[in-house]
């Protein structure tokens, strides 16, 4: 629920920034022949201050930043210029010259499989504000990504399911480092949310396949999050929500910024007013705090540190289809600590060093009736990447990384039985190399190779990757991607100490993308072949006596995306459609079948509009998902049932104003506004009743709708 507050923060920043400008920065940008460059971006690095050049190549803007800063000048087809400037005095006569960049001629960029969101990308498709203003996403990164093609709506999970892949096949990375637990803890039928605020990040890239050799341990997809640099300004934020409250304080110095925040959420007041399908004993409660430190070490160097701790718990009664007269009480308690630290520096203009480390500790205790399961996980990652520009036609990236993890689980069926113990100690070592090679003005290739070794499995894997992009016409391009992707089986399988190997997927992707003005059209086809998927010899894992890599499968489909930020004044809309054909033989499946999370058709219509006369920003999202498969033991065959189609119409609105010079935003949102009766699947009894039929229990949302009201006050120094 904290994400609604974050949505308000960004809208506030967008409206208040111009009022705080102080120092004038003015000049002209030309090419080596002295001709003005029209439309070049001129901005301060790590800030939102900047402008675009006019017909004469001139620019002018104001900024509150002081001291020595890096001014970044960029334009398509030219080498980005970074110039150190002193902002303690006005700069009214800057003369800047951009040199042509062979690598960027004709705007050839590899796009197969990737949706990117970055202020530095010409064809940015999403940014942080898009995430939090997408109706129905509730300012959750994962929720907003689910409005893009390639994803499937799995409402009872709340996680990312991409192109026929299970949720564990998608990995999240922050500044290039993998995140061990990107979701809040949950139980069956209660959807999880992402742990991180979208406003921690300056850019987001969602790759639904064929991603870079720099990233591994993800069979299907990679969500790449790039953290913010220095905070823009000093301020205090106060938010009051229908589900909790938060307080934050940010302090900005010349080359340093520090932000500290605390948040408390409790759903009891809300759920007491809005009827829930679950029988809650203790409604979800979360206490969390975070710290964000940034230090600019030089004109091109940056040190970042982010830490967060959260503690949550809840308790509820869930019906047991096998024992309707004795429902099960479920208690959950979770603690999560996450630390992320990175350092980046440019040496001698052509060398870039990126290093980082993360540490995650998670403790999850779940009791279900008399059964108690406690799981503790420690995960540490370290990574170093070196980037070298070899002229203007080749950029080489190489890197090494390692991950250490310690998984310790205890399981006790009831107080009278012996406690079972599962322990997994793993070290994964990886190295990669890839290059962007510009083969003329219209063709670029990115060959890559990744090596991984698992100490626990005593196995290693070599992953070739290749991506190509060709400029097709003035505004379009065609891209192709191919690669082998490996992933270590989940720790829930490794703890049984059976001989296993890496799961594997091979990707083939063909993409056409056209960007004209502020419009983007994208069509993509793909084929994904699975090998060595986990399989066991019983319908449920707890009853299995053998676990192997005997599974396999495939996923193939076509996707369409169109976004228009130009036709409607101050309006923005996009349309996405996905067609998926997928089957797999894995887990306890007796035969090759479409998995329960794989819907054939997914459609999302997203619209947003700023209404100036009433100072209100509104958004609406309509989602359609065709029926998902489920296994009905009362019928012949396997996974032969289909749920009803999923429908959702969500709405949000934010009213922006000021009170005594301080920005105030009132926000309201509601999901499933029309109250569609959505069903996520069915759960069946393990034995038939007296009539010979297996009893069924539908899997339903906690409530038809979720509504939120929030008030944010931002006090700037």
Query: What is each CA distance from 388 to 105, 354, 535, in whole angstroms?
Result: 20, 12, 43
In sequence order, which residues have a C-beta less than 8 Å from that of residue 543 and are 6 or more positions away? Answer: none
Report whether pLDDT(13) > 70. no
Supply angle C-alpha 660, 661, 664, rounded to 5: 85
Query: What is each CA distance from 485 to 80, 367, 449, 530, in whole angstroms?
Result: 33, 36, 11, 10
Answer for the pair 682, 698: CB distance below 8 angstroms, yes or no.
yes
Q: Are residues 485 and 619 in the same domain?
A: yes
CA-based nearest residue to 61, from 30, 107, 92, 103: 92
Report whether pLDDT(11) > 60. no
Is there a domain that residue 59 lies in?
Answer: yes
Is there a domain that residue 623 lies in?
Answer: yes
Report whether pLDDT(19) > 60. no
The 3 state secondary structure assigned to 7-53 is: HHHHHHHHHHHHHHCCEEEEEEEECCCCCECCCCEEEECCCCCEEEC
Is there a domain that residue 518 lies in?
Answer: yes
Q: Output the pLDDT for position 117.
A: 42
Q: Output the pLDDT for position 228.
A: 86
Q: Given 70, 100, 130, which residue is the final one in a domain?
A: 100
Q: Given 77, 100, 123, which residue is the final one in a domain?
A: 100
* CATH classification at residue 119: 2.40.170.20
Q: Given 100, 130, 145, which residue is the final one in a domain?
A: 100
Is there a domain that residue 105 lies in?
Answer: no
Report whether pLDDT(21) > 60. no
Distance (Å, rounded) from C-alpha 554 to C-alpha 535?
A: 15
Token pair of 292 as six digits: 């964000």
Report whether pLDDT(9) > 60. no
Range among 318-327, 375-384, 698-707 with highest mean pLDDT value: 375-384
Q: Which residues, in sequence order, are bridge partners of residue 592?
A: none
Q: Are residues 448 and 536 in the same domain?
A: yes
Distance (Å, rounded) from C-alpha 25 to C-alpha 59?
A: 8
Q: Look at the block and give the residue holding tokens 């296994």.
A: 631
Report the sign of the C-alpha dihedral through residues 616, 672, 674, 164, in that order. Answer: positive
The whole-chain average pLDDT of the chain stands at 89
Q: Look at the block and give the residue holding tokens 């823009």.
A: 232
pTM of this prediction exceeds 0.75:
yes
Token pair of 153 as six digits: 């709506």
Q: Which residue has the higher pLDDT, 160 or 349?
A: 160
List, for residues 487-510, the tens digit of each pLDDT value.
Answer: 999 999 999 989 999 999 999 999
Mean pLDDT of 643-664: 93
* CATH classification at residue 68: 2.60.40.1120
Q: Output the pLDDT for position 4.
A: 43
Q: Are residues 472 and 603 in the same domain?
A: yes
Q: Are residues 76 and 132 in the same domain?
A: no
Answer for the pair 610, 570: CB distance below 8 angstroms, yes or no.
yes
Mean pLDDT of 453-471: 94
Distance (Å, rounded) from C-alpha 53 to C-alpha 98?
A: 13
Is there a domain that residue 408 lies in?
Answer: no
Confidence bin at 127 (pLDDT 50/70/90) = low
Q: Are residues 37 and 13 in the same domain?
A: yes
Mean pLDDT of 230-258: 93
Q: Are residues 649 and 673 in the same domain?
A: yes
Answer for the pair 247, 221: CB distance below 8 angstroms, yes or no.
no
Q: Which of 119-123, 162-166, 430-434, 499-503 has the lowest mean pLDDT?
A: 119-123
Side-chain-side CA neighbours of residue 87 (13 Å): 24
Answer for the pair 428, 402: CB distance below 8 angstroms, yes or no.
yes
Q: Output the pLDDT for position 17.
A: 40
The 3 state secondary structure assigned to 434-500 is: EEEEECCCCEEEEEEEEEEEECCCCEEEEEEEEEEEEEECCCEEEEEEEEEEEECCCHHHHCCCCCC
Q: What percent of the chain has pLDDT over 90?
A: 64
Mean pLDDT of 204-216: 90
Q: Which residues, in sequence order, are bridge partners of residue 579?
A: 558, 601
List, for residues 513-530, the tens digit of each pLDDT value.
Answer: 998 888 989 999 999 999
Side-chain-side CA neighbours of residue 477 (13 Å): 21
Q: Are residues 77 and 122 in the same domain?
A: no
Q: Output the pLDDT for position 190.
A: 82
Mean pLDDT of 345-361: 93
Answer for the pair 486, 459: CB distance below 8 angstroms, yes or no.
no
Answer for the pair 258, 251: CB distance below 8 angstroms, yes or no.
yes
Is there a domain that residue 402 lies in?
Answer: no
CA-based nearest residue to 664, from 605, 606, 714, 702: 714
DSSP letters for 631-669: --TTSSSSS-EEPPPEEEEEEEEEEEEEETTEEEEEEEE
Q: What is the β-pairing status of strands 23-30 and 91-97?
A: parallel
Determine how many CB atoms are found less than 10 A away from the CB of residue 623.
24
Q: Are residues 515 and 625 in the same domain?
A: yes
In sequence order, which residues have a C-beta less than 8 Å from that of residue 522 and are 6 or more positions away? Answer: 111, 149, 511, 512, 513, 514, 559, 560, 561, 562
Q: Are residues 669 and 523 in the same domain?
A: yes
Mean pLDDT of 432-455: 92
Q: What percent of the chain has pLDDT over 70?
A: 93
Mean pLDDT of 700-715: 91
Mean pLDDT of 335-354: 93
Mean pLDDT of 340-346: 95
Q: Are residues 233 and 95 in the same domain?
A: no
Report whether pLDDT(113) > 70. no
Q: Output the pLDDT for position 129.
A: 74
Token pair of 41 as six digits: 């971006």
List, for residues 597-642, the tens digit of each pLDDT value.
Answer: 999 999 999 999 999 999 999 999 999 999 999 999 999 999 999 9
Identify the domain containing residue 68 by its residue range. 6-100
Supply angle C-alpha 175, 181, 184, rounded to 5: 120
Q: Are residues 452 and 490 in the same domain?
A: yes
Range among 84-98, 218-232, 270-284, 394-408 with highest mean pLDDT value: 394-408
Domain count, the chain: 2
Q: Output the pLDDT for position 472.
A: 86
Report whether pLDDT(701) > 70. yes
Q: Are residues 96 and 11 in the same domain?
A: yes
Distance (Å, rounded) from C-alpha 175 to C-alpha 169?
A: 19
List, for residues 314-339, the tens digit of each pLDDT value.
Answer: 999 998 898 888 999 999 999 999 99
């Amino acid at each position: 629920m904290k994400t609604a507050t974050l949505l308000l923060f960004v809208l506030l920043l967008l409206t208040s920034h111009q009022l705080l400008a102080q120092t004038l920065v003015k000049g002209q940008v030309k090419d080596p022949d002295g001709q003005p460059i029209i439309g070049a971006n001129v901005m301060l690095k790590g800030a939102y201050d900047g402008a675009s050049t006019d017909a004469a190549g001139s620019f002018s803007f104001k900024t509150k930043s002081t001291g020595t800063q890096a001014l970044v000048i960029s334009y398509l087809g030219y080498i980005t210029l970074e110039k150190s400037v002193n902002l303690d005095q006005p700069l009214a006569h800057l003369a800047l010259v951009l040199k042509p960049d062979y690598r960027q001629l004709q705007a050839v960029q590899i796009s197969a499989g990737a949706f990117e969101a970055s202020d530095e990308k010409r064809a940015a498709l999403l940014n942080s504000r898009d995430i939090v203003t997408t109706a129905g996403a509730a300012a959750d990164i994962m929720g907003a990504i689910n409005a893009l093609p390639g994803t499937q709506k799995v409402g009872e999970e709340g996680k990312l399911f991409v192109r026929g892949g299970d949720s564990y096949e998608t990995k999240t990375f922050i500044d290039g480092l993998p995140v061990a637990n990107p979701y809040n803890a949950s139980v069956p039928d209660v959807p999880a949310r992402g742990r991180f605020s979208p406003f921690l990040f300056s850019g987001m890239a969602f790759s639904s396949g064929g991603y870079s050799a720099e990233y591994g341990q993800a069979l299907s997809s990679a969500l790449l999050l790039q953290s913010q640099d220095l905070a823009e300004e000093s301020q205090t934020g106060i938010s009051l929500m229908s589900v909790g409250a938060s307080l934050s304080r940010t302090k900005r110095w010349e080359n340093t910024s520090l932000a500290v925040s605390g948040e408390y959420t409790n759903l009891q007041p809300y759920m007491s007013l809005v009827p829930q399908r679950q029988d809650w004993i203790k409604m979800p409660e979360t206490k969390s705090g975070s710290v964000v430190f940034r230090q600019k070490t030089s004109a091109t160097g940056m040190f970042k540190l982010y830490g967060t701790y959260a503690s949550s718990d809840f308790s509820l009664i869930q019906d047991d289809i096998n024992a309707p007269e004795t429902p099960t009480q479920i208690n959950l308690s979770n603690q999560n600590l996450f630390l992320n630290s990175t350092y980046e520096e440019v040496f001698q203009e052509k060398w870039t060093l990126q290093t980082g480390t993360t540490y995650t500790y998670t403790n999850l205790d779940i009791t279900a009736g008399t059964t108690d399961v406690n799981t503790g996980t420690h995960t540490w990652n370290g990574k170093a990447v070196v980037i070298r520009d070899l002229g203007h036609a080749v950029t080489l990236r190489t890197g090494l990384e390692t991950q250490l993890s310690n998984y310790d689980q205890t399981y006790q069926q009831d107080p009278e039985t012996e406690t079972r113990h599962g322990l997994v100690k793993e070290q994964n070592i990886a190295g990669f190399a890839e290059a962007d090679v510009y083969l003329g003005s219209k063709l670029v290739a990115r060959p890559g190779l990744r090596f991984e070794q698992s100490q626990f499995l005593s196995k290693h894997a070599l992953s070739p990757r290749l991506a190509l992009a060709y400029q097709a016409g003035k505004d379009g391009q065609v891209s192709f991607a191919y690669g082998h992707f490996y992933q270590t089986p989940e720790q829930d399988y490794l703890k049984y100490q059976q001989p296993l190997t890496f799961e594997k997927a091979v990707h083939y992707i063909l993409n056409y993308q056209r960007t004209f003005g502020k419009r983007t059209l994208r069509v993509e086809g793909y084929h994904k072949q699975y090998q060595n998927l986990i399989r066991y010899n019983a319908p449920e894992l707890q009853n299995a006596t053998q676990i192997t890599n005997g599974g396999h499968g495939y996923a193939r489909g076509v996707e369409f995306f169109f976004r228009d930020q130009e036709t409607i004044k101050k309006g923005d809309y996009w349309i996405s459609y996905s067609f998926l054909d997928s089957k797999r033989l894995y887990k306890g499946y007796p035969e090759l079948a479409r998995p329960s999370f794989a819907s054939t058709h997914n459609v999302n219509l997203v619209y947003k509009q700023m209404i100036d006369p009433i100072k209100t920003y509104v958004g609406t999202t309509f989602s359609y998902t065709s029926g998902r498969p489920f296994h009905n033991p009362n019928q012949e065959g396997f996974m032969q049932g289909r749920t009803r189609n999923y429908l959702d119409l969500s709405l949000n609105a934010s009213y922006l104003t000021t009170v005594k010079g301080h920005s105030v935003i009132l926000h309201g949102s509601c999901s499933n506004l029309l109250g569609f009766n959505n069903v996520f699947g069915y759960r069946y009894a393990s034995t038939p009743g007296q009539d010979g039929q297996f009893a069924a229990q539908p899997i339903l949302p906690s409530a038809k709708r979720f509504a939120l009201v929030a008030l944010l006050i931002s006090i700037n120094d």
